[in-house]
Amino acid sequence: MAQVTDFVVIGSGIAGLRASIALASAGAEVTVLTKSKASDSNTEWAQGGVAVVLSDDDNAGLHEGDTLEAGAGLCDPRAVETLVTEGTRYIKELIEWGTEFDREGGRLVFTQEAAHSRRRILHAHGDSTGKEIVRALIARARQESSIRLLPFADTEKLLVRDGRCVGVRYADPILKAPRDIFAKAVILCTGGAGQLYLHSTNPSGATGDGIAMAYFAGAEIADMEFVQFHPTALNLENAPRFLLSEAMRGEGGVLRNARGKRFMADYDERLELAPRDIVSRSIVSEMRKTGTRTVYLDMTSKSEEFLVHRFPAIAATCSYYGLDISKDLLPVSPASHYCMGGVRADLWGRTTIPGLYAAGEVTCTGVHGANRLASNSLLEGLVFGARAGEAAFRDDSEAEVVTSFSGASAAGPLDARVSTAVRKRVKRGMWEWVGIMRDGESLTRALSEFEQIASANLSNASRNFVTNALLVTRAALWREESRGGHFRTDHPDPVEEWRVHSVQSFGEAIRSDVRINFEREAAV
């Protein structure tokens, strides 16, 4: 039997929770579907902090300038202005709701991260910022009786009728079968696709399902070639690629090669605080020069007391693997971290499908351009999550809810897992051929491999997984230049003619657009 609600939000990270609170505060009934438990999201894994203009020596113009520079010519200025100007208000709101950012003597503590011209990064409990924000947002959401959290409910597909999104199909965790839920509008807040790669800092659920579902529903997908690799993930055999926060370099950490040489001066005058794409490529180049698979992060100039206080979770994790962050060189190498591309959305979260909104890493709004500025992601989820919730209510609160749907789900089991074989083939292929350093020959080989996998009879989850790999690979092969997170060894320089966005739609050839934002009237 189908369910009916006012609005469906898919995902319970910072964007999904903030969108849900906006809808509920306006008087709507909201059903939040999550893949796992409510607190399990990319947000919870965010260590370094959130960038915001709150310190006395900072202003929105400086934050905007840093973001535009990092974005390598592909940021949308209006999106960036919205982020940095509205971000301050929403962070203050978070503090009012009980978010406990770190303080000294009652004053907020700010730290430095790569490519920021000011110390503007707020953190919580040292290196558990995302976890603290999720805690506060869940507590705030629970104050709204009209928000219904439905955990362990894998979304299978978006339901579209007459070109409009009218609901979703999900795996009912009790019935273990597909079930439909209809709504006035749906907001995608499903995060990115970092798990496409063999080495990733992302949780296991970051498989890009929202991007693929939107693509199959007919939404436009933009800039999928731009993938950010975090330079410093813990590189130990038989250990997960645990993120060693950008803030560690902001607090004075330096990178050394296998011979002990500090090498970033050979690549960029900003040294360890150069943008992430530059640091990641520099590390790869240095590993190739030395014939090794790792470099080292050196924090030994700082005291044990400072490091354990500032990075308690990192210190504990490293200690578990036999490393003392105040005495040992920490083995690190890059790992996939963030997708700049995603579902094309305007500044209010409207996608190219009426009734479908999106916010957070699942989207491409032009905020990040070709390369995300460190610690802008939590701010993006907060600001655009709120805006998407407000727009969905404003646009669609009077919309009629569909109660029947052609092709509605039938009884029977639903396999919401990505098969082990598909996962292994795609992750290895993405890492080897569509990784930090790319070229036309490797990308062509990857495309052939992924198309062969996609031609098999796959579960929905496996189909989504390989579809995201295809979206990234096609865009990377199409873009014959190097820009931001996309680097082609056969086209190593940025080219002005390629200062455009890649746009992909189901069943159509990839095309370019000089603007990422688009104008679409309210859905009603």
Written as tens digits, the pLDDT of the chain (524 aa) is: 679 999 999 999 999 999 999 999 999 999 999 987 665 555 545 556 899 999 999 999 999 999 999 999 999 999 999 999 999 999 999 999 999 999 999 999 998 887 899 999 999 987 788 889 999 999 999 999 999 999 999 999 999 999 999 999 999 888 888 999 999 999 999 999 999 999 999 988 899 999 999 999 999 999 999 999 999 999 998 888 888 988 899 899 999 999 999 999 999 999 999 888 899 999 999 999 999 999 999 999 999 999 999 999 899 999 999 999 999 999 999 999 999 999 999 999 999 999 999 999 999 999 999 999 989 999 999 999 999 999 999 999 999 998 777 654 443 444 556 799 999 999 999 999 999 999 999 999 999 999 999 999 999 899 999 999 999 999 999 999 999 999 999 999 999 999 999 999 999 999 999 999 887 654 44
Supply φ then ψ for residue 294, to 5 degrees.
-155, 160
Domains of the chain: 3-192+340-396 (3.50.50.60), 230-334 (3.90.700.10), 418-495 (1.20.58.100)
Q: Which of 249, 276, 344, 438 is catalytic?
A: 276
- Kindly calculate the radius of gyration of the chain based on its CA atoms and give it in whole angstroms: 22
Beta bridge partners of 343: 221, 363
Exposure string for 158-191, b = 16+ CB within 10 A, e = fewer: bbbeeebbbbbbbbbeeeeebbbbbbbbbbbbbb
Query: Which sign, positive or negative, has the C-alpha torsion 358, 359, 361, 367?
Result: positive
Q: Is 520 a catalytic residue?
A: no
Lookup: tokens for 268: 């960029």
User: Pairing between strand 3-4 and 7-10?
Assistant: unpaired
So what's the pLDDT on residue 247?
A: 87
pLDDT of residue 412: 40
Please state the pTM of the whole predicted model: 0.93
Give the type of residue at 91.
I
Euclidean distance between CA atoms 116 and 64, whole angstroms: 10
How far lies 25's CA from each of 39, 146, 190, 393, in Å? 21, 9, 22, 10
Conformational region of residue 324, where left means phi above 0, alpha means psi within -120 to 50, and beta covers everything else: beta
Q: Which residue has the tokens 């990115």?
A: 192
DSSP result, 451-465? HHHHTS---HHHHHH
Distance separating the N- and C-terminal Cα atoms of the chain: 27
Q: Give Cβ neighbours of residue 111 (< 8 Å, ≥ 6 apart).
A: 49, 119, 121, 123, 247, 250, 251
Is 9 in contact with 23 (CB distance < 8 Å)?
Answer: yes
Helix axes 77-96, 129-141, angle to 10 degrees: 70
Separation between Cα atoms, residue 316 and residue 320, nearest integer Å: 6
Residues 6+ apart with CB under 8 A from 377: 46, 338, 360, 361
**3-state SS class at 351:** coil
Separation of alpha carbons 368 and 477, rounded Å: 21
Q: What angle do CA 454, 455, 456 make, to 5 degrees?
A: 90
Token pair recorded at residue 494: 């940025």
CB 281 within 8 A of CB 487: yes
Q: What is the number of other CB atoms lying within 10 angstroms of the CB of residue 143? A: 11
Asked if residue 19 lies in contact with residue 187, where contact means CB atoms within 8 angstroms, the answer is yes
Contact 157, 185 (CB under 8 A): no
Strands (E), 410-497: none
Q: Residue holding tokens 């807040």?
A: 189
With a CB cutoff of 8 Å and minimum separation 6, the contacts of 421 are: none
Q: What is the pLDDT of residue 523?
A: 42
- Residue 13 contacts residue 41 (beta carbons within 8 Å): yes
The CB density around residue 137, as the number of other CB atoms within 10 Å, is: 28
Residue carrying the six token digits 């400086």: 62
Give the per-residue pLDDT at 524: 41
CA distance 445 to 61: 44
Question: C-alpha angle with apex 297: 295 to 299, nearest 5 degrees?
Answer: 160
Helix 14-25, helix 377-396: angle, nearest 10: 30
Residue 136, H or E segment: helix 129-141
CA dist list (Å): 107 to 55, 122, 342, 389: 10, 11, 37, 32
Q: Where are the beta strands (DSSP E) in 91-146?
A: 103-104, 107-108, 110-111, 121-122
Q: Which tokens hold the place of 472?
A: 């990234």
Beta-bridged to residue 422, according to DSSP, are none
Helix (H, G, I), strand (E, B) or coil at 161: strand
Q: What is the pLDDT of residue 39?
A: 54
* CA–CA distance, 253 with 508 (Å, rounded to integer): 47
